[in-house]
Amino acid sequence: MPREKKTPEQHSIDPAAQEMLIRADQIGVSTAFSRAEDMIPCNIGGAGMCCKLCGMGPCRLVKDGQTGVCGATIDTMQARNLIRAIAAGSAAHSDHGRDMAFTLKAVANGEAEGYQIRDIAKLRVVASRYDIPIEDRAPEEIANDLADLYISQFGQQRGEVAPISQAPEKRQAIWREQGVVPRGVDREVVEALHRTHIGDDQDPVHILSHAIRTALADGWGGSMIATDVSDILFGTPAPLLGEANLGVLKDDMVNVIVHGHEPTLSEMIVAASQDPEIIEYAKAAGANGVNLSGICCTANEILMRQGIPAAGNFLHQELSILTGAVEAMVVDVQCIMQALVGLAQNFHTQIITTSPKVKIKGATHIEFDEHHAMTIAKQILKTAIDNYKNRGETQIPDVRENLVPGFSHEYINYMLGGSYRGSFRPLNDAIISGRIRGVAAIVGCNNPRSQQDYLHTHVTKELLKQDVLVVETGCGAIAAAKLGLLLGEAGLAHVGPGLREICETIGVPPVLHMGSCVDNTRILTVLTQMVEEGGLGDDIDQIPAVGLAPEWMSEKALSIGTYCVASGAYVMFGGSSPVSGMPDRVEDSDIVLNYISKGWEDIYGGKLEFVEDPDEMVRRTLAHIDLKRADLGLVEYDPARFGRSGDARMRELEDLPLAERRQALYGAATD
Ligand code: NFS
């Protein structure tokens, strides 16, 4: 019997997405949502039981005890598949970091048109971490040395990648004891590929140990470099007002969407769009200027720093084109669907590829070069403006939400205490007292295999009710933004009493948007600073915190999950498991599944699990947080103790006669 087609509501909880899916049906075009419905996933490959690493196969294991032609067992295959995915994710993030480091070098040497060092204070802080002299030196000199150091981390052959030194000391000792400290970023990725070539590493546990090292090269290597350099060049984020969802597109302006990951080009396009020459050019074309917005992590980069609106997350890339109102979608690297080009042919939208690493057949290629960035950014915008006259009928969903992004770890530190006494003390104290039960990082992608944004926002809302402070990055953060969870009071209605008091006192939303996926390193830094502040143990694995990627789909997500586990975090992924193995296998006999959870927990204190049911994710998160609280000897979480201070208390008192109000406030009648 043919399966019943999913409704737009079953595909996404976002009304803007639902509207565009109806339009896609009317026009008769496919999207990732409909293609995912038509494409039944391969349950052999999906469970990690297929090997195509040599020409004797591909081998697929469907019977218990079966091996590949070379004799590889299911466990070896699963470990190989997993490490290859992690290596690809680590490579993608790290190559982003490498490009940022090269841009820093070019800026330091006056060779990068239009760029400057925007955050000299952060440059000095980061340089001093690595003993680069900063006194009596020009920012460019310091930046030149830092760029050289960072560039050298990728090709380094021996020793330890430098940012490792920023982890808690106890954590560094565990990594050294296990022999998993990355020597150089590229070396670990290359070794992951070498080890998984036919006839190499065939002990699943040994392979997975190198998976840890490969992922650490991302989190405490390439990604950390990417975040540091982005902040130095474009400014460390601080809260500002932004908007999210397709309703940010404008009917009377030239709409340009920047999509992908690296901020280098998108920051320059932001600057160029405000240039009088470009505004005039747009007006001459009959438009009221250029309206920029972002998709995916590029959106997060320019939203966090410039307040440029986010048109949406991963699954919004096709939906934005369906509005018919996008003159150009400018893409660089990662998470860009090939389907964009075919879809755009139904409209006037131009897909412009810009990276020397990424071309898509049928797209316009205008290659980016940071040495001539402003010139190229203007050329791209003029191409989009020239396309405005070709616009046909449009349908822009009237759906958008305000949000407050910009919570870098520097800002969190500042907001907790002000410029003279900024520290993580108030956050630690709030956790110790039980006002905040624990912390959850909810990150990662959209996946059309599940209802868009549902898992993210369901888990987020349930944890907020339980007084869990939520920090978010990537497409998960945009999901929360679209649902109005990133805006102060709007997000507070369903927040637990203790957490609500904290948010009201500090004046922050209950969900803190910390940036793009490479910025998950900001979360590592926050956790490290919480350890250093004291009172919550002496290593990350003792903090009552959990990492969640409810709608993951990319290899980068697997790398992030793995470096968080290696850093001591309990990490849960939603959706399907790439190492689930045979459906009727006894779980305890599954080496890989067990090793990445119990095995890694024994060594690192963190574990990786795949959990399909979002309520089970919430249950396990709370159980873990409570267990860590108990291990630290903290008071048991009890929401009944809180909620009678801050704004809530003031509202209660408002209704009392003056004398009683005074009594309640000051403890004695004064008149
Ligand atoms: Ni992250 Fe960014 Fe989104 Fe997933 Fe893709 S954009 S780096 S991988 S889909 S969160």
pLDDT, tens digit (0-9, with 9 covering 90-100), for 307-350: 999 999 999 999 999 999 999 999 999 999 999 999 999 999 99
> Is any ligand 1 atom within 6 A of the Cβ of residue 517?
yes
Nearest atom (ligand 1) to Cα of 557: 8
Task: Answer whether 335 contacts ligand 1 (Cβ < 6 A).
Answer: yes
Same structural domain for residues 505 and 558? yes
- Ligand 1 centroid from CA 473, angstroms: 9
Looking at the structure, tell me whether residues 459 and 376 fall in a common domain: no
326 and 263 belong to one structural domain: yes
The residue nearest atom 5 of ligand 1, judged by CA position, is: 335
Find the mean pLDDT for residues 4-27.
97
Q: Are residues 196 and 161 in the same domain?
A: yes
**d(C-alpha 483, C-alpha 140), whole Å:** 42
Q: Judge whether residue 519 has pLDDT over 50.
A: yes
Same domain, 153 and 186: yes
> Taking the complete model, does pTM exceed 0.85, yes or no?
yes
Q: Among 390, 419, 453, which residue terminates a domain?
A: 390
Percent of the chain with pLDDT over 70: 95
Closest CA to ligand 1's atom 7: 517
pLDDT for 507 = 82
Q: Whose CA is nearest to atom 6 of ligand 1?
A: 296
Torsion angle defined by CA atoms of residues 246, 479, 89 and 230, in that order, rounded to the nearest 10 degrees: 70
- Please report, as a single letter, which amino acid is at residue 590: D
Q: Which of 99-108, 161-170, 640-649 has the lowest mean pLDDT?
A: 640-649
Cα 574 to averaged position of ligand 1 atoms, centre (Å): 15
Q: Of 204, 234, 264, which residue is a domain's last?
A: 234
**Mean pLDDT over all residues of the chain?**
93
Average pLDDT over residues 152-167: 97
How far away, in angstroms, is 579 Cα from ligand 1 center?
A: 21
- Residue 669's pLDDT is what? 46
Question: 104 is in which domain, residue-wise?
Answer: 74-234
pLDDT of the residue at 506: 83
Of 114-128, 324-338, 450-464, 634-648, the one with minimum mean pLDDT is 634-648
Model confidence over 632-648: pLDDT tens digits? Answer: 999 999 988 887 665 66
Each residue's pLDDT tens digit, 211-230: 999 999 999 999 999 999 99
pLDDT at 583 over 90: no
Is the residue at 596 inside a domain?
no
Look at residue 81 and tell me if it is in a domain: yes
Q: Is residue 457 part of a domain?
A: yes
Strand 59-60 with 50-51, pairing? antiparallel
Whether residues 24 and 145 share a domain: the answer is no
297 CB within 6 A, ligand 1? yes
State the pLDDT at residue 667: 64
Q: Is the distance from the beta carbon of residue 477 to the nearest atom of ligand 1 less than 6 Å? A: no
pLDDT score of 582 more than 80? no
Q: What is the pLDDT of residue 490?
A: 63
Atom of ligand 1 nearest to the CA of 313: 3
237 closest CA partner among 410, 406, 122: 406
Residues 339 and 468 in one domain: no
**For position 570, what pLDDT does the model report?**
98
- Ligand 1 mean position to 444 CA, how many Å? 6
Is residue 591 domain-resident? no
Same domain, 376 and 414: no
- Residue 589 domain flag: no
Q: Would the CB of 530 count as within 6 Å of ligand 1?
A: no
Is a pLDDT exceeding 70 seen at residue 367?
yes
- Based on the fold, state whether residues 223 and 80 are members of the same structural domain: yes
Separation of CA 20 and ligand 1 centre (Å): 21
Q: Are strands 242-244 and 254-259 parallel, antiparallel or unpaired?
A: unpaired
pLDDT of residue 76: 96
Q: What mean pLDDT do residues 368-376 have?
A: 93
CA of 176 to the centre of ligand 1 (A): 30
Q: What is the mean pLDDT of residues 288-302?
A: 96
Q: For residue 301, what is the domain's CATH number?
A: 3.40.50.2030
More confident residue, 658 or 212: 212
The number of domains in the chain is 5
Atom from ligand 1 closest to the CA of residue 446? 9
Q: How far is the CA of 177 from the centre of ligand 1 (A)?
A: 32
Nearest of 50, 420, 486, 524 to residue 243 by alpha carbon: 486
| Cα distance between residue 600 and residue 591, in whole Å | 12
Other beta carbons within 10 angstroms of residue 235's beta carbon come to 18
Mean pLDDT of 1-16: 90
Nearest CA owner, ligand 1 atom 9: 445
> How remote is the CA of residue 296 from the centroid of ligand 1, in Å?
6
The verdict on 556 and 417 lying in the same domain is yes
For residue 554, which atom of ligand 1 is closest to its CA?
8
Residue showing tokens 């747009």? 282
Whether ligand 1 lies within 6 angstroms of the CB of 444 is answered as yes
- 418 and 532 share a domain? yes
CB of 123 within 8 A of CB of 236? no
As a whole number, mean pLDDT of residues 437-449 equals 97
Distance 192 CA to ligand 1 centre (A): 22
Residues belonging to the chain: 671
Q: Which atom of ligand 1 sits closest to the CA of residue 296?
A: 6
In a domain, 61, yes or no: no
3-state SS class at 663: helix
- Asked if 400 contacts 247 with a C-beta cutoff of 8 angstroms, the reply is yes
Q: Which residue has better confidence, 670 or 575? A: 575
Q: Is 513 exposed, middle or buried (0-12, 13-18, 19+ CB in 10 A)?
A: buried
Q: Are 237 and 415 in contact (CB under 8 A)?
A: no
Choice from 295, 335, 514, 560 to test ligand 1 binding pocket (greatest atom count within 8 A of CB): 335
> Which band of pLDDT confidence, cut at 50, 70 and 90, is reported for residue 412?
confident
Grade residue 250 by pLDDT with cuts at 50, 70 and 90. very high
Residues pairing with 470 in the sheet: 440, 511
The per-residue pLDDT for 670 is 45
Residue 2 lies in a domain: no
Q: Which of 218, 300, 302, 314 to mutate to test the pocket of ligand 1 (most atoms within 8 A of CB)?
A: 314
**For residue 416, is pLDDT > 80?**
no
Q: Report yes or no: 289 and 279 within 8 Å, Cβ to Cβ.
A: yes
Do residues 619 and 649 both lie within one domain? no
CATH number at residue 114: 1.20.1270.30
Q: Whose CA is closest to 123, among 25, 26, 231, 285?
A: 231
In a domain, 91, yes or no: yes
What one-character-per-residue DSSP string does 100-151 give?
HHHHHHHHHTT-STT-----HHHHHHHHHHTT---TT--HHHHHHHHHHHHH
667 Cα: distance to centroid of ligand 1 (angstroms): 53
Domain boundary among 234, 256, 277: 234
pLDDT of residue 2: 63
